[in-house]
Amino acid sequence: MIALVAALRACGHRAGLLSNSLGDHCYDGFDLPAMFDAVTVSGDIGVRKPSRRAYATACERLGVRPEETVMVDDLPQNIAAAERLGIAGIVHRDAATTAAELARLLAPPTAGA
């Protein structure tokens, strides 16, 4: 998934991290600001997914509107909450399937579509 995020960014897509981490050092050893265009961590903002405010804060930090955003998460309830705000969602099961779904959702519209 780290390589997928890097590939998306190399293609010109912005990528953000919205994590329910509570500051337990689970990202030690990762340079999150280098890996993502915006990082939103629940322990820093005081709310967790599936709170509407968590998604709104993540979109604001990334500089996008919810309807311009695709959310990838391993919990269906977090995707359902994101979709209620207009964010497209992918329930992550494995990297290959997630990559294929992202390619489909991020593909430019075809002529006549």
Residue 47 in any domain: the answer is yes
Domain that holds residue 51: 2-106
For the segment 41-96, what is each residue's pLDDT rounded down to a tens digit?
A: 998 999 999 999 999 999 999 999 999 999 999 999 999 999 999 999 999 999 99
Residue 111 confidence (pLDDT) above 80: no
How many folded domains does the chain comprise?
1
Confidence (pTM):
0.88
SS3 20: coil
Contacts of 34 by beta carbon, 8 Å cutoff, 6+ apart: none
The total of other beta-carbon atoms located within 10 Å of residue 25's CB is: 7
Average pLDDT over residues 31-45: 94
Residue 41 main-chain phi, psi, to 5 deg: -120, 130
Q: What is the pLDDT of residues 62-73, one digit of tens each?
A: 999 999 999 999
Indicate whether 31 belongs to any domain: yes
Residue 16 lies inside a defined structural domain of this protein = yes
CB 19 within 8 A of CB 41: yes
In angstroms, rounded to a whole number, what is the distance separating the alpha carbons of residues 45 and 34? 20
Does residue 44 form part of some domain? yes
